Amino acid sequence: MGLDGFYAQMLRIRLFEEALLKLFSRGILRGTVHTCLGQEACAVGVAGALDPRRDTVCSNHRGHGHFLAFGGDMKGLLDEIIGRDSGICAGKGGSQHLHSKNFYSNGVLGGMVPVATGIALAQKRSDQQGISVVFAGDGAMAEGVIYEAINIAALWSLPLLLVIENNHIAQTTPEILAHASPIENIPVAFGVCTEKVDGNDVLAVRSTTDRLIEEMRVVPSPRCLVLDTCRLGPHSKSDDTRAKDEIARCHERDPLKKVEAQLPAATIANTQARCNGELQDLLAEFSLT
């Protein structure tokens, strides 16, 4: 896929989630939603390197981008978030508790890492050479269950790719108040080969994931990919406690702007028109325009 393809995928996620926040403020959505605004390159770069027929993705509370980038159905997701029977989980899972094909998510912080480790064991025992991918945030990395799961994955050489999206904040708690040492030290302490990449650079995320997946298919063993990224939006709907200049610095790193700087203006305009059209058609189908 070329840069224009990556751009289109990231933009679809961006527009979909911006629409969710608007639907929330109109009282159309209930419960909560956590958007991945600003972190789209993590989702697109990782998921694009996977084989949806044999690889699995376990996601967290901020999982719409992971779901869409892994080939998930946007209409089924919107149906699910609205809480309709026609949603991908019959409207019972909502935004955070999704399952469709090889995609699973759960809102319990760190809770999917042991699940993904179990899936990795099943994958190692099958002859499909599938990889179990799990996303976790910097805050989740303070949960004890993750340490147990990494230990078993390393001990049993399981094909588990732990992707840490380090946006340096957990709701309102900055990383420096939650972790005694850099997050990448955690998997390294268990002997897990760990790489750190700019999570707002979709090409870097994709090429690194491609390489890690290739290595893991040949010799199953865990890997950790730490993605340095930034949350552009609130934690969930309107709860952002960060200083304005900190948020402004995140906007300077916007992964979409980074790609736009490398694309012809006509490509950007066409992609925007196409992605906007797709979203407007979807909202019209739901009578939500």
Ligand X SMILES: Cc1ncc(C[n+]2csc(CCOP(=O)(O)OP(=O)(O)O)c2C)c(N)n1
DSSP code, position 183: T
Answer yes or no whether residue 115 interacts with ligand X by CB under 6 A.
Answer: no
Stretch that binds ligand X, among 79-87, 162-170, 210-218, 258-266 (CB under 6 A): 162-170
Tell me how crowded residue 11 is: count the other CB atoms within 10 A of its CB: 23
Answer yes or no whether residue 170 interacts with ligand X by CB under 6 A.
Answer: yes
Q: How far apart are CA 8 and CA 274, in angstroms?
A: 9
- Give me the least distance between CB of 133 and Mg ion, in Å please: 18
155: phi then psi, degrees, rounded to nearest 5: -60, -40
Contacts of 15 (CB under 8 A, 6+ apart): 275, 276, 279
98 binds, among ligand X, Mg ion, none (CB under 5 to 8 A by kind): none
Binding residue for ligand X (CB under 6 A) from 93, 137, 159, 220?
137
**Site for Mg ion, rule CB under 5 A:** 137-139, 167, 170
Beta strands, E only, 181-234 = 193-198, 223-228
Tell me how crowded residue 225 is: count the other CB atoms within 10 A of its CB: 26
- Give me the least distance between CB of 134 and Mg ion, in Å please: 15
Of 109 and 282, CB closest to ligand X: 109
Site of tokens 């390294």? 188
- 221-250 residues in contact with ligand X (CB under 6 A) are 235
227 binds, among Mg ion, ligand X, none (CB under 5 to 8 A by kind): none
Q: How far apart are the first and last CA of the chain?
A: 32
Structure tokens at 215: 């290595």
Answer yes or no whether residue 109 interacts with ligand X by CB under 6 A.
Answer: yes
How many residues bind ligand X (CB under 6 A)? The answer is 14
Of 128 and 171, CB closest to Mg ion: 171
- Give me the least distance between CB of 230 and ligand X, in Å please: 10
Of 52 and 234, CB closest to ligand X: 234
Q: Are 72 and 103 in contact (CB under 8 A)?
A: yes
> How far, in Å, are 24, 135, 160, 179, 208 from residue 42 at the CA level?
25, 10, 17, 22, 11
Exposure string over 112-141, b if 16+ CB within 10 A, otherwise e: bbbbbbbbbbebbeeeebbbbbbbbbbbbb
Stretch that binds ligand X, among 42-50, 133-141, 149-157, 208-216 (CB under 6 A): 133-141
Answer yes or no whether residue 108 interacts with ligand X by CB under 6 A.
Answer: yes
Q: Which residue is nearest to ligand X (CB)?
A: 137
Binding residue for ligand X (CB under 6 A) from 45, 48, 107, 187?
107
Q: How far apart are CA 244 and CA 238, in angstroms?
A: 14
Of 62 and 258, CB closest to Mg ion: 62
Stretch that binds ligand X, among 24-32, 165-173, 198-206, 281-289 (CB under 6 A): 165-173
Answer yes or no whether residue 106 interacts with ligand X by CB under 6 A.
Answer: no
- Give me the least distance between CB of 107 and ligand X, in Å please: 5
Where on the chain is the footprint of ligand X (CB under 6 A)?
61-62, 107-109, 137-140, 167, 169-171, 235
